[in-house]
Amino acid sequence: MAVTRMSKRAKLAYLADLEEGYRPFDKHALKLLQALLQDPDAEVRAEAIACLWNDPDTRWINVLMRLATDDPHVDVRAHAVSVLGRYVYEGEQARLDDWVDVWEDEITPEDYERVTEFLFRLAHDPDEPLTVRRYAIEALAFRSGDPAVEDLIEWAYHHPDRRMKVSALFAMARHGHQRWDKYILAELHSPDAQIQYEAVRAAGELGITEATETLIELATRKGVRKPLRLLAIYALGETGDPRALPVLEKLARARDRDVRDVARDALEEWLMFNQFEEMMEAEDLEESFVGSTFPDVWDADTGTFSKN
């Protein structure tokens, strides 16, 4: 279908399907996406940009940087900044693997540094709109072991604008350092609904067991807003805390269908977490037996196993 013949509603519906994975990123989709990135409607451009999160081909980096800098609409710029975070994530994963097995269309060390420098520049620029700066901080949060990123998140948390604190909590969950636990725990009781929501989400994603009692309270107390309650239920599963199990089992039989469904998903998360923990403990136990009881075949002149 030609872009010129599509209504705005049809464009947005197509992009929603593409973003959710209901349509493949084939040649037709990519051609249409390129056209919609230049659509005269800002909402369409923003949705087209959001689709690029699922296609982290390095050919989009320059396009996203241009949109993040030059687009006249701040929401479009913010979307472009946010999607650049996917390249920070990809670059971080490749860096942790010492850049081995990187495919031709995947990010290079040079592109990784180029994207992060661009985002740092936006985050630090006082002339940039607040939305662009906070999305840049969220995007940079994937970068671990960088004191400059930690300083930015800390600065955002203490910023006088509450929107920056919201982004800081979101970034803390992405960054994953234990230094953020105290901030997240402190905001679980925030009177600001959005800040509390992000704190609950972060507590679950980071598996902060010190948050369990508060999460149980939010999951079971009457009068808690339903979106927050459902998030707290799921976060309980992510913590893997033994105290969460009987609560989740009870909620999985609740009358409310939404509560039941989320509780069952949370139970799956809880079980996966604990199975993984048991597996890791078993591996540690096996290694301790090998190290203390059996000879190290790798140090032998002629070993049983090939090192190749």
| Percent of the chain residues past pLDDT 70, beyond the cut | 88
CA 77 to chain centre: 19
Over residues 143-189, the pLDDT tens digits come to: 998 999 999 999 999 999 999 999 999 999 999 999 999 999 999 99
The helices-and-strands tally (H runs, E runs) of the chain is: 15, 0
Q: Where are the beta strands (DSSP E) in 121-220?
A: none
| Per-residue pLDDT at 277 | 74
| Per-residue pLDDT at 87 | 96
| Per-residue pLDDT at 99 | 84
Name residues whose C-beta falls within 8 Å of residue 132's C-beta, 6 or more positions apart in sequence. 68, 74, 77, 78, 81, 122
| Per-residue pLDDT at 284 | 63
2-6, 52-56, 204-208, 285-289: range with lowest mean pLDDT: 285-289
| Percent of the chain residues past pLDDT 90, beyond the cut | 76
CB atoms within 10 A of CB 71: 19
Cα–Cα distance for residue pair 42/146, rounded to 1 Å: 34
Give the mean model confidence (pLDDT) for residues 283-301: 44
Over residues 23-68, the pLDDT tens digits come to: 988 889 899 999 999 999 999 999 999 999 998 999 999 999 999 9
Fold adopted by 18-176: Leucine-rich Repeat Variant (1.25.10)
| Per-residue pLDDT at 118 | 98
| Per-residue pLDDT at 1 | 52
- Give the residue range(s) of CATH 1.25.10.10 domains in the chain: 18-176, 178-282
Residue 35, amino acid: A
Residue 151, amino acid: D
pTM above 0.75, yes or no: yes
Cα–Cα distance for residue pair 111/82, rounded to 1 Å: 16
Cα–Cα distance for residue pair 62/60, rounded to 1 Å: 6
8 A C-beta contact, residue 91 and residue 107: yes
| Per-residue pLDDT at 84 | 98
Rg for the chain, CA atoms, rounded: 23
Over residues 91-109, the pLDDT tens digits come to: 999 988 888 766 666 899 9
Does 287 have pLDDT greater than 70?
Answer: no
Name residues whose C-beta falls within 8 Å of residue 129's C-beta, 6 or more positions apart in sequence. 74, 77, 78
Does 275 have pLDDT greater than 70?
Answer: yes
Name residues whose C-beta falls within 8 Å of residue 203's C-beta, 6 or more positions apart in sequence. 184, 185, 188, 211, 214, 215, 235, 239
What six digits make up the tokens of 287? Answer: 């290694």
8 A C-beta contact, residue 210 and residue 185: yes
| Per-residue pLDDT at 96 | 86
Domain 178-282: CATH superfamily, name plus number: Leucine-rich Repeat Variant (1.25.10.10)
What six digits make up the tokens of 54? Answer: 């699922």
Highest mean pLDDT among 28-32, 146-150, 282-286, 297-301: 146-150
Which residue in this structure is represented by tokens 């030609």?
2
Does 4 have pLDDT greater than 70?
Answer: no
| Per-residue pLDDT at 298 | 31
| Per-residue pLDDT at 276 | 79
Does 300 have pLDDT greater than 50?
Answer: no
